[in-house]
Amino acid sequence: MTETNIPWYKTKPKYHESIIQWFLFICAAVSVFVTLGIIFILGKESLLFFREVSIIEFLTSTKWQPLIEEFGVLPLLNSTLTTSFIAMAVAAPLGLFVAIYLSEYASERVRNILKPILEILAGIPTVVYGYFALTFMTPLLRLIFGQNTVDIYNTASAGLVMGILILPLVTSITEDALKAVPYSLREASYGLGATKLEASLTVVVPAAFSGIAAAFILGLSRAIGETMIVALAAGAGPNFTFNPFEAAETLTGYIVRISGGDISYNTVDYNSIFALGLLLFFITLTLNIISRKLVKRFQEVYD
């Protein structure tokens, strides 16, 4: 074969094209390394921690007092769940109602005003919500229920404000789910003589159920990982209590308080925050995966 037979466009090998492609591929792979990094770091430090502390004690003891070597995660986990469920008690109904209003009732003009407002609410840093909880919600609760019942730091206040924080998230995903329900379903129910409410509640909401569930689960996951509100308003010091008016430190609150105090490396204290981080990571990851699966399901049905 002579050289002239090679087509003209093959004469110039384009090395830089493949170099660029490799570079872009590495960029995409960075995200995988981040995940591996998180798992490796949390796993490694947790292993060191569980060499000192038995995993059974960690999961069952109701005392977290590092000073006397008591490492039971239950008090921290309990207050994390308390604040998160209070938050969901606010955000789930309110978010669902607002989403129904936006998707079924509101006119285009009203929606164009309301959606940016919700976006602003979503863009406010969490530390500002923490300030709000401490300077507004807590005094309000103390005014309503009495100074003696409600501590200065309490999980109820943190949870309520957290509900406002995750409200925009829950609303926007729920609204997307409701919007994805084909209009023909609504028309069919109107055709049967349903009122607007009946069409919304008996047809649209059940049809969008998996999407709504996904929104709630994602909201719960966000609430569990939320840090600054609980660090400011829920109080310092682990406390195993089911009373939302008492101070009780959450998983995230404990991590931020301990790491904020310039701890020294290779101590049980240092390792313990990674063990708590691992627990937190697993909980939120599981919830996110479930939520993702649910979202996929409603997308598959109607796309």
Partner 1 sequence: MSNFNDNIKKRYTVSNLWNIIFTFATIVAVFMLFLLLMNIINGAFGYVAIQNTIEPTEIISSGNLDELDESQLIEILESNLSKGLIRRYNFENPLIDRSKTEIMSLVFERIIEPRVVKSWNLKESILGRNAIIEYTGREYPNAHLQFRSWLNPQFLIGSQASVPELAGIRTAILGSMMIILLTIAFAFPIGVGAAIYLKEYATDNKFTRFIQVNIYNLSGVPSIIYGLLGLAVFVRGMEPFTSGAMFGYGDPSTANGRTILAAGMTLALLILPIIIINAQEALRAVPQTMRHAGYGIGATKWQTIWSHVLPHSMDRIMTGTILAVSRAIGETAPIVVIGASTFISVDPSNIFSKFTTLPIQIYQWTSRPQPEFRNVAAAAILVLLVMLLTMNGFAIFTRNKISKNRRSN
Q: Is 268 in the site for partner 1 (CB under 8 A)?
A: no
Q: Is 55 in the site for partner 1 (CB under 8 A)?
A: no
CB of residue 63 to partner 1, shortest distance in Å: 23
CB of residue 139 to partner 1, shortest distance in Å: 10
Residues 174-193 that bind partner 1 (CB under 8 A): none
- CA-nearest of 211, 231, 295 to 76 is 231
Tokens 């109820």, located at residue:
156
Draw the binding track, 220-249, toward partner 1 (x: CB under 8 A; -: no contact).
-xx-xxxxx--xx-----------------
Question: Residue 70: phi, psi to the nearest 5?
Answer: -105, 115
Residues 112-141 that bind partner 1 (CB under 8 A): 114, 116-121, 123-132, 134-136
CB 133 within 8 A of CB 158: yes
Binder among 76, 88, 141, 167 for partner 1 (CB under 8 A): 167
CB of residue 192 to partner 1, shortest distance in Å: 12
Residue type, 242: F
Written as six digits, the tokens of 61 are 């003891």
Binder among 30, 56, 68, 144 for partner 1 (CB under 8 A): 30
> What is the Cα–Cα distance from 242 to 101, expressed in whole angstroms?
34
* Cα angle 266-43-84, degrees, rounded to a multiple of 5: 100
CB of residue 1 to partner 1, shortest distance in Å: 25
Q: Please, which residue, 82 or 84, has the CB nearer to partner 1?
A: 84
Furthest-apart CA pair in the chain: how many Å? 97
Q: Is 299 in the site for partner 1 (CB under 8 A)?
A: no
Residues 190-209 that bind partner 1 (CB under 8 A): 195-198, 201
3-state secondary structure of 71: strand
Residue 209 Cα to chain centre, angstroms = 19
Question: Residue 152: phi, psi to the nearest 5?
Answer: -65, -40
Only segment of 50-58, 178-186, 203-211, 283-291 that touches partner 1 (CB under 8 A): 283-291
Only segment of 48-56, 69-77, 203-211, 214-222 that touches partner 1 (CB under 8 A): 214-222
Q: Is 48 in the site for partner 1 (CB under 8 A)?
A: no
Q: Is 298 in the site for partner 1 (CB under 8 A)?
A: no
CB of residue 102 to partner 1, shortest distance in Å: 7
- How many of the chain's residues bind partner 1 (CB under 8 A)? 86
Q: What is the DSSP letter of 9?
A: G
> What is the Cα–Cα distance from 122 to 170, expressed in whole angstroms?
10
Question: Residue 71: phi, psi to the nearest 5?
Answer: -125, 80
Binder among 2, 11, 31, 148 for partner 1 (CB under 8 A): 31
Only segment of 53-61, 65-73, 96-104, 202-210 that touches partner 1 (CB under 8 A): 96-104
> What is the Cα–Cα distance from 1 to 10, expressed in whole angstroms?
15
CB of residue 244 to partner 1, shortest distance in Å: 20
* Cα angle 175-92-99, degrees, rounded to a multiple of 5: 20
Tokens 């049967």, located at residue:
192
Q: Please, which residue, 105 or 242, has the CB nearer to partner 1?
A: 105
Question: Residue 234: phi, psi to the nearest 5?
Answer: -90, -15
